[in-house]
Structure 1
Amino acid sequence: MQNFASNSFPLLLLILLSSLACSKPESDVKPDNLGTIEKNLKIELNATLHPLSTTDPNLPVNDLAFLGNLGNAKIVGMGEATHGTQEFFQMKHRIFKYLVEKQGFRYLAFEYDLGGCMALNELIQSGQGDIKAWMSQQMYFWTWRTTEVLELFLWMQDYNRNKPDSEKVHLVGVDCQFPKQAVPQLVNLLKPYDNSFATEVSSKLNSIVKHELYKGETFATLQQARNGVLPQINAVGRALNERAASISQLTSPAYYQQIMRVYETIVQAEILQYNQVFNAETFFTFRERYMAENLDWVFSQYGNVKVALWAHNEHVAKNEQFLNFNTNSLGGNLKAKYGSAYQVIGFSMGSGNFKAYNALNNQLETMRLAAPITNSLNYPFTQADEPHYGVILADLQKRTFWNGRLSSSRPFLSIGAVFNANLVDHYYYTIRLDQLYDVIFHFDNTNPSRLF
């Protein structure tokens, strides 16, 4: 996820993420049969769905008991259909709370830079420190700088108080778009080992402590700029490898692996920044792969744990065509490695308000979405008698009419950080819903997330 409306973000990526059009299949029923099919879809959905009693994460999670089978998963992906919807964030908080309290999950992998989350996790683990102040000063994505996400992190911090380490919950980052927070985190990790070496590393990498390494570069000047960055990063890598034994001995092998993972995200960020300038598909291929690799590291570092993954629908979906590119999504990479041990919860909405950058004026605003297009997968979800609910797709697929609906490719709403109200149809991506998600949470009406 990224603030795609930033003036420094390449126009190519803005266009791709905010305006990618997709073809809408023709209706597979004749108009005179349409009413009958819609009626049966509604009947079947009402018989299968699980009503949600609340979105308030402070209330009990008994209504989520239908998610019991997720306890067999190693990773549970939790998506969102927009980056600025209050109900999505609150429900993901409730789902994580359920997974922790009822299913033994202890790790939350977040669509945010690994180094930044490592610093934030220190506050969550210690029970000390002002999380809101950290988010206000350090969290550069507006999408996460919300009351809903703050309440999640505060709950994690409070949950950990007076608990042994084996029962505490942990926050880990999987993203790697920028080196700005990774560099100071690397330096901080090195200080207990050798303060003078930490200072040396800081000096070598000081010039890349920024959001974008190649801002303003053209194709002609990009390679020259890269030649000024790579030697510094590579020199630090060699120095860390040379000191592997001594760092491990003075700290621990696990601590050294933390150091190397933070360093690896600096390497990843440089590659993403380089490809971001001129090759969108390569950028996304690397980013989705790197996020999967960073999540894999959680298991190598912490053992046989259970992880909940927080990201956009597009990232967590078990997709081999991420944003219409011929590349696996983060979820597609996880599916390839973990198979059925990776389960995914997607989110759907009918109409309502949400936060996004208005593509027409480049302003962060509360945007409005009308009723979904009638041939979309979202539309029949709005016809249920319940305004918000969860449904297990495998159960829904056992129903006659929904089996046909889920087994065909149809448009499904997906909005990121940018929205163009004049191109609403372009935010419906044609997918096979049953191949990408295991559970859907639907909300007929939504409210915008609350930024601070």
Structure 2
Amino acid sequence: MKNFASSSFPLLLLIMVSSLACSKAENEVKPTLQETIEQNLKIELNATLHPLSTTDPSLPLNDLDFLGNLGNAKIVGMGEATHGTQEFFQMKHRIFKYLVEKQGFRYLAFEYDLGGCMALNELIQSGQGDIKAWMSQQMYFWTWRTEEVLQLFLWMQDYNRNKPDAEKVHLVGVDCQFTSQSVPQLVNLLSRYDNNFASEVSNKLSSLVKAELYKGENFNSIQQARNGVLPQINEVGRALDERAASISQLTSPAYYQQIRRVYETIVQAEIIQYSQIINAETSFNFREKYMAENLDWIFSQYGNVKVALWAHNEHVAKNDQFVSFGTKSLGGNIQAKYGTAYQVIGFSMGSGDFKAYNLTNNRLETMRLDAPLANSFNDQFTQVDEPRYGVKLADLQKRYFWNGRLSSSRPFLSIGAVFNAQQVENYFYTIRLDQLYDVIFHFDNTNPSQVF
């Protein structure tokens, strides 16, 4: 009996160990298929992204070298997920600086009225004048009246000092929502040709030097106001046509084209403002189309140049359905003409603070996004180790799991100048990310822009 027990002990021990091992294996929780996919998405994104060392435009640009292929583009769109985020503005400043210093870009097309930017560009070109004072007194959009945008314009002004004209950088507006700055700029340009004619134009268009052309409670009153405005605009247009040869001869053909383009934005603004009251959806169509035309004018005016375009994500995106309306975005119109010569950088955030007009109390405030919408692209971008980075979507498409993810539509954050914190889900639009953007810059956390 003793010998039997001794010889059986190793066998009993083996059985007990095996039983415990089986019990442990049975108690292990296996990851679900979705968890496995998400983990692989994280691994692939970590292996593809390019960390950003800083957002400070004054520091070296080496971390942006992965954008080298953008030098082959004719136009590079630079978006922003909100109109009030410090990191977006600073990074766009860095990107434009990189494009200028490394890729030969010389023109910044800006989401601001062409006439206003033309006046501001004179300060940038001459190196004279107080840019901040101009912005404080003239720039009617709080979205651009920020320290971050000011630093960009000051850098452009400083960059131009002691450089020949061929190497200088230029600011050109592409927007056309208002006439309040375009009319004075038109008069200013004409005064260099003929003071008397400039005065005549000023008198005819004086009623347009205001933010809103039309106010009224009914269609008849608005239409009556328009019947008073249109003849004045059209009369100035005919006068410019009659003097085209004379203006071109006494100044230059290019100078006349500047005059003509400023006038065209007055025509555009009137149509947009009228449409905003009569049919808001139609006004979106006009504005996106006109901004594309104004950008295209840069090439007819200045030749074979490279242009960086500054606007909101929704504007620069290569989109056929702008903000859910059945119209092409500015970027969609550009892509239709320039194809792959147009490349777009979109911006993403996970959470953080930003400036916006609070719709619940009608005030400009620092607002907050606590977390991205679950299963959104923004949510996916926060899952990796880097808190801020850039990634080329073409590189992600080479990864197995991300190729599948990018082939489907998911929510992506888009906040403009206004925000309602009680309806956060309304600011996530379902899109095919790879069809709208070429590069994404993501920030896990953000700070508000500094409005002055």
- TM-score, normalised by the number of residues in structure 2: 0.93
Q: Give the superposition deviation at 1:215.
A: 2.2
Moved more, 338-347 or 365-374: 365-374
> How many residue pairs were aligned?
422
Encode CA deviations 1:342-390: one digit per residue, 9 max, x unaligned: 0000000000000001110011000010111121111110011100000
Moved more, 369-378 or 94-103: 369-378
Output the CA distance in 2 between the equivalents of 1:163 and 1:217.
Answer: 54
Aligned residue in 2 for 1:448: 448
Q: Give the superposition deviation at 1:35.
A: 1.6
Counterpart secondary structure, 2:32 = helix
What stretches of structure 2 of length at least 5 have no aligned partner?
1-30
Aligned residue in 1 for 2:289: 289
Aligned residue in 1 for 2:50: 50
Output the CA distance in 2 between the equivalents of 1:212 and 1:187.
Answer: 19
Structure 2 contact 77–342 (Cα < 8 Å) conserved: yes
Query: Residue 241 of structure 1 aligns to which amino acid in structure 2?
Result: D
Counterpart secondary structure, 1:353 = strand
Aligned residue in 2 for 1:121: 121
Output the CA distance in 2 between the equivalents of 1:309 and 1:113.
Answer: 13
Output the CA distance in 2 between the equivalents of 1:280 and 1:37.
Answer: 42
Structure 2 contact 215–222 (Cα < 8 Å) conserved: no
Output the CA distance in 2 between the equivalents of 1:373 and 1:286.
Answer: 32
Alignment of 1:193-204 (within 5 A): 193-204=193-204
Aligned residue in 2 for 1:411: 411
Aligned residue in 2 for 1:261: 261
Alignment of 1:18-97 (within 5 A): 32-97=32-97
Aligned residue in 1 for 2:5: none
Aligned residue in 2 for 1:4: none
Q: Give the superposition deviation at 1:38.
A: 1.2
Output the CA distance in 1 between the equivalents of 2:52 and 2:188.
Answer: 44
Counterpart secondary structure, 2:179 = coil
Structure 1 residue ranges (4+ consecutive) displaced by more than 6 angstroms after TM superposition:
none
| Larger-Rg structure | 2
Query: Residue 247 of structure 2 aligns to which amino acid in structure 1?
Result: I
Q: Share of identical aligned residues, percent? A: 84
Structure 2 contact 52–390 (Cα < 8 Å) conserved: yes
Relative to structure 1, is the Cα distance of residues 119 and 217 closer, same or farther in structure 2, using a 3 angstrom cutoff? Answer: farther
Q: Give the superposition deviation at 1:34.
A: 2.2
Relative to structure 1, is the Cα distance of residues 194 and 217 closer, same or farther in structure 2, using a 3 angstrom cutoff? Answer: farther
What stretches of structure 1 of length at least 5 have no aligned partner?
1-30
Query: Residue 272 of structure 2 aligns to which amino acid in structure 1?
Result: L
Output the CA distance in 2 between the equivalents of 1:220 and 1:337.
Answer: 39
Aligned residue in 1 for 2:301: 301
Counterpart secondary structure, 2:353 = strand
Encode CA deviations 1:101-123: one digit per residue, 9 max, x unaligned: 00000000000000000000000
Output the CA distance in 1 between the equivalents of 2:207 and 2:133.
Answer: 26
Q: Give the superposition deviation at 1:335.
A: 0.4
Q: Give the superposition deviation at 1:217.
A: 4.6
Aligned residue in 2 for 1:326: 326
Q: Give the superposition deviation at 1:218.
A: 2.2
Alignment of 1:162-241 (within 5 A): 162-241=162-241
Q: Give the superposition deviation at 1:37.
A: 1.3
Aligned residue in 1 for 2:247: 247
RMSD (Å), alpha carbons: 0.7
Query: Residue 107 of structure 2 aligns to which amino acid in structure 1?
Result: Y
Within the alignment, does 1:432 sit opposite 2:432 as a pair? Answer: yes
Encode CA deviations 1:249-293: one digit per residue, 9 max, x unaligned: 000000000000000000000000110002111100000000000
Output the CA distance in 2 between the equivalents of 1:216 and 1:356.
Answer: 28
Output the CA distance in 1 between the equivalents of 2:307 and 2:291.
Answer: 14
Structure 2 contact 107–172 (Cα < 8 Å) conserved: yes
Query: Residue 285 of structure 2 aligns to which amino acid in structure 1?
Result: T
Query: Residue 332 of structure 1 aligns to which amino acid in structure 2?
Result: G
Output the CA distance in 2 between the equivalents of 1:405 and 1:162.
Answer: 50
Structure 2 contact 159–168 (Cα < 8 Å) conserved: yes
Output the CA distance in 1 between the equivalents of 2:185 and 2:230.
Answer: 19
Output the CA distance in 1 between the equivalents of 2:59 and 2:189.
Answer: 38
Output the CA distance in 1 between the equivalents of 2:322 and 2:219.
Answer: 26
Output the CA distance in 1 between the equivalents of 2:103 and 2:443.
Answer: 25
Alignment of 1:91-110 (within 5 A): 91-110=91-110
Query: Residue 368 of structure 1 aligns to which amino acid in structure 2?
Result: R
Query: Residue 406 of structure 1 aligns to which amino acid in structure 2?
Result: L
Alignment of 1:341-420 (within 5 A): 341-420=341-420
Query: Residue 291 of structure 2 aligns to which amino acid in structure 1?
Result: M
Query: Residue 171 of structure 1 aligns to which amino acid in structure 2?
Result: L
Aligned residue in 1 for 2:3: none
Output the CA distance in 2 between the equivalents of 1:58 and 1:311.
Answer: 22
Query: Residue 89 of structure 1 aligns to which amino acid in structure 2?
Result: F
Q: Give the superposition deviation at 1:192.
A: 1.3
